[in-house]
Structure 1
Amino acid sequence: MTESASNEIGPLPGETIDPFMEGRLRIIQSKKGYRFSIDALLLADFVTIKKNDIVADLGTGCGVIPLSLLAAKPAKHIYCIEIQQELAFQAMRNAKLNNLENRMSVIMGDIKNPSLPASSVNVVVCNPPYRRKESGRINPDQQRAIARHEIYASLDDIIKAARFLLTTKGRLSIIYPAERMTYLIEKVKAAGFEPKKIRIIYPDIDANAKLVLMEAWLNGNSGLTILPPLFGQGAYSIEGQA
């Protein structure tokens, strides 16, 4: 797509178009519905991508994680699965807007039935809903509700999809609430994954941990690296990429 063609893509009513990755990219997202958060940027920064890796992003939203990865890391192609039609359409337009449609394919569908072959990707990445369906107040905005609560996909569903899609020794990268880290470890190990890399995120040096980033390998050998933690501005300086 030419630059002039990409410039013709713009926001629809109820959407914004914002500079992204220090102005290198632009992103269309909902004005009042789902908007990407720092969590997505932290995860994109954490993910290990090797040259020519094929990646699947489960629940891509407007495509912020694939855009970040393609701008900064050597992925060959990213498949972006999104169940919500409006968000899938945003992700498609964001790929075209940033001239990345040849390396970023958006699939509107359910991760519980991924329309990709088994053992077809090297990396699965997911910024999942953190709250159980029955936990707390569900946001009246559907986009936000689905992003925050396990309405369409649980952690078990995500891990099952990752196991189906990944090659042996393929890598699952995920961000999750730190208070549920033991639950996350139990779930990935039960599915045949081995945690290989963890980084814990703290709002500031005196606060309890808020988030955990984990990379787990399918049928991987034991051996876990705990990376240095990110504190306060050390973590949230990544937000400056937005």
Structure 2
Amino acid sequence: MFAPDELTDDGFLGGRLRVLQPGRGYRAATDPVFLAAAVPARPGQSVLELGCGAGVASLCLAARVPGLRLAGLEVQPAYAELARVNAARNGVSLEVVEGDLAAMPPVLRRSFDHVIANPPYYPAGGGTGATDPGRERAMREDTPLGLWIEAAVRRLAPRGILSLIFGADRLPDALSALDARMGSIAVLPLQAREGRAAKRVILQSRKGGRAPFRLLPPFLLHEGACHEGDGESFTPPAAHILRNGGDFPFRLI
């Protein structure tokens, strides 16, 4: 487990959430906040987060939608314990289970209305390895992306919705892993600035959905052609999500 002096106390959603994170390990940034904002959950529904880390995505979703039944699966015990602590200190009921999604713990072998995940960014053997083992495990694929998607689909109830955020270069892998059980696929590119290629995408799909595939216009994160000065440059819609816990100005599916 992490010692107190290894942790930082970070604010999310304009300080509405206070989250303990390791100073040198895997640290959540904007991806889990955008993921949570995209989930079309309603009060009373159930949500499973695969690879919940310190719990940021689930906590952001709870802040936006009250009355959810939240569960998280995390393979690293120290991060699972952090997620429990963070849920408690923010007054959120979050069932955190330690385990590997490739061998789903029996307690989570039930159906959920939503499954969400922010899978590791780098494929096995890609990129430069992190010196911190927790960050390396969180950022580099150990379990193939296809198995993440298979585990999610198995846990979805009929008409349930899968929501993922990941690197745009992994989109072909994700689409190929979605079989005939899933449909109504929508992909939202997250574009850092005008004129730049999107490096992240949000993908949603409904179990048993039949709507045609949709590629949405890019969602612009920053104003201006480049970062200038020390201030933030988020567009108003992006700032509304990151600072106010707001929704995207549209639904993906």
TM-score, structure 2 as length reference: 0.83
Correspondence for 2:190: 201
Aligned residues: 229
Correspondence for 1:168: 158
- Whole-angstrom CA distance in 1 between matches of 2:165 and 2:184: 13
Correspondence for 1:15: 7
Unaligned runs of 5+ residues in structure 2 are 223-233, 246-253
**Does residue 138 in structure 1 map to residue 129 in structure 2?**
yes
* Residue 241 (structure 1) shift: 5.4
Question: Identity of paired residues, percent?
Answer: 29
* Residue 108 (structure 1) shift: 1.0
**Does residue 220 in structure 1 map to residue 212 in structure 2?**
no
Query: Within 5 Å, which residues of 2 pair with 1:97-112?
Result: 97-100=89-92, 103-112=93-102
* Residue 19 (structure 1) shift: 2.4
Query: Within 5 Å, which residues of 2 pair with 1:1-242?
Result: 12-100=4-92, 103-115=93-105, 116-151=107-142, 153-188=143-178, 190=179, 192-231=181-220, 232=222, 233-234=234-235, 237=239, 238-240=241-243
Unaligned runs of 5+ residues in structure 1 are 1-10
- Whole-angstrom CA distance in 2 between matches of 1:29 and 1:86: 11
- Whole-angstrom CA distance in 2 between matches of 1:16 and 1:106: 21
Q: Is the 8 A contact 2:166 2:201 kept in 1?
A: yes
Q: Secondary structure of the equivalent of 1:57?
A: strand
* Residue 209 (structure 1) shift: 1.4
Q: Secondary structure of the equivalent of 2:4?
A: coil
- Whole-angstrom CA distance in 1 between matches of 2:67 and 2:219: 25
- Whole-angstrom CA distance in 1 between matches of 2:132 and 2:77: 15
* Residue 117 (structure 1) shift: 4.9
* Residue 119 (structure 1) shift: 4.6
TM-score, structure 1 as length reference: 0.87
String of CA shifts for 1:131-160, please: whole Å, max 9, x gaps: 211222221211111121112x22112111
Correspondence for 2:251: none
